[in-house]
Each structure stands twice: as structure tokens, then as C-alpha cells.
Chain A
Amino acid sequence: AQKITQTQPGMFVQEKEAVTLDCTYDTSDQSYGLFWYKQPSSGEMIFLIYQGSYDEQNATEGRYSLNFQKARKSANLVISASQLGDSAMYFCAMREGRGLTGGGNKLTFGTGTQLKVEL
């Protein structure tokens, strides 16, 4: 069974500082995808960044980067130059890669990390 672990229920960071949100995963699949989503207090789910299991380079999207360490099964999100608007819940999720059974494009989510950016 796949599992996503986010061990930091809450994090604080000073504005303009960088912050790393941890995510470890457990899977026996060779092909899988890792996603990070942001959920502000308004509730919507916003896609941030994607990393495929076969991607050799770490994904980056603007101020977001994904520190992918395949051997350690970790996919940490790094936010550089934090802004007040980054305050939100952040979810790590994994997509199953197995055949035509087992949930299709199901995302298995972690329990999230609540990030608070302070002045």
C-alpha cells in the first residue's frame, strides 16, 4: 500500500526566508508521480509542482522547488523568499503508477503541513 508521510503539522517562517516542507513516501511501484498542492484558508486546492519518478532533475516552478531523493523516498518542497500569501496548508500527494487497475489516477495525500509566514 502506498503511503505519504508529512511529519510537520505546523511550520513558521519569517518573510523572505526559505522554508522546507518534508514529505516521505512509500511505494513498491517503479513508476509514480509526486505532487504538491497548496490549500489557502479559502479552501481551494492549488497545484504547485510535479516530480516524476524517472525525472533525473529536481522540478522547479518559480519560487517552488522539489528536493527529490529517490533512494530515501523523500520529496521535500522548498519555498524560497517566503511571502505572507504563502501562509496555507500544504499537501504532498502521490499518484499510483500501476496498470489499468487500482484507482487510475488516484492521488494519495499526506495529512498536510500548515505553514505560517510571519513579518
Chain B
Amino acid sequence: EAQVTQNPRYLITVTGKKLTVTCSQNMNHEYMSWYRQDPGLGLRQIYYSMNVEVTDKGDVPEGYKVSRKEKRNFPLILESPSPNQTSLYFCASSLIAYSNQPQHFGDGTRLSIL
């Protein structure tokens, strides 16, 4: 089954404790992206990757890091999480950039930073 898999689905942690949210897709997609969803703001892009070893900032990159060492994986790293990073996070992928194909989303990761 074609899918984007995020882990963990839920995480409660404390300020300053490094965490990684993993994202993996099995569709051989070139393009991957991270979004965060906050009430009243819709989804906003954090980082994206056009292909392996090619990443760039989205609209709200502060406090986040990413890497794309393999085509299928695109982890999101919070080096020193803070309460304002409490949010619902989505990883998404699509075949290529600028395509008319929809982005496929993972099921989301709900992070609470205390």
C-alpha cells in the first residue's frame, strides 16, 4: 500500500530535549515536505526537499532541522524544543515538484512540548 508513515503519532516531552520525528514514503517520490498545523492558521510549510541531499526552508523553519540522505526518508529534528513548537505536524510527498499530482500526507504527529 502506497503511504507516508510518520512516527511517533503522539509525543509529550519537555523543553530542550532533542527529538526526531521520522517520515518515510514508499512511493519513490522525489519531493517531500514538512508542515505544521495550528488552529486558525491552516498548515504552514517548515522545510522541503526536492530530492536526495537537496533541502530548503519553508515559511516557518526556525527551530527545526531536516536531512534527506535517502530518497524515502525525511526526518524532522527539533534540537531544543520549546512550547511554541507544540503543534500537529504533517509530512507529505509527491512524485516531483511542480506537478499537478497531489501531495500525499502522513497521518500526522501531535507534539506537546511542556
Q: Number of A interface residues, CB 8 Å?
A: 23
* Option from A52, A104, A107 in Cβ contact (under 8 Å) with B100: A52
| Closest A residue, CB atoms, query B9 | A43
The answer for the CA separation of A46 and B3 in the assembled complex, in Å, is: 12
| Contact in complex: A50, B99 (CB < 8 Å) | no
Of the candidate stretches A62-70, A73-81, A109-117, the one touching chain B is A109-117
| Contact in complex: A105, B102 (CB < 8 Å) | no
Residues of B near A43 (CB, < 8 A) are 88, 107-108, 110
The answer for the CA separation of A112 and B40 in the assembled complex, in Å, is: 8
The answer for the CA separation of A31 and B56 in the assembled complex, in Å, is: 22
The answer for the CA separation of A17 and B41 in the assembled complex, in Å, is: 29
| Contact in complex: A44, B45 (CB < 8 Å) | no
The answer for the CA separation of A105 and B104 in the assembled complex, in Å, is: 12
| Contact in complex: B103, A107 (CB < 8 Å) | yes
* Option from A45, A50, A105 in Cβ contact (under 8 Å) with B98: A105
A106 on the B face (CB < 8 A): yes
A91 on the B face (CB < 8 A): yes
Residues of A near B108 (CB, < 8 A) are 43-45
In this complex, which of A4, A47, A52 has the most chain B Cβ atoms within 10 angstroms of its Cβ? A47
| Contact in complex: A109, B98 (CB < 8 Å) | no
Q: Which of B18-64 contact A (CB under 8 A)?
A: 31, 33, 35, 40-45, 48, 50, 56, 58-59
A10 on the B face (CB < 8 A): no
| Contact in complex: A109, B44 (CB < 8 Å) | yes
Known: A43-B107, A45-B90, A45-B105. A106 touches B48 (CB 8 A): yes
Q: List 17 A-B contacts (CB under 8 A).
A: A43-B88, A44-B108, A45-B90, A45-B92, A47-B104, A91-B42, A103-B56, A104-B97, A105-B33, A105-B94, A106-B45, A106-B48, A107-B43, A109-B42, A109-B43, A111-B40, A112-B42
Given contacts A45-B92, A107-B92, 5 further A-B contacts (CB under 8 A): A43-B110, A97-B98, A103-B59, A106-B59, A109-B43
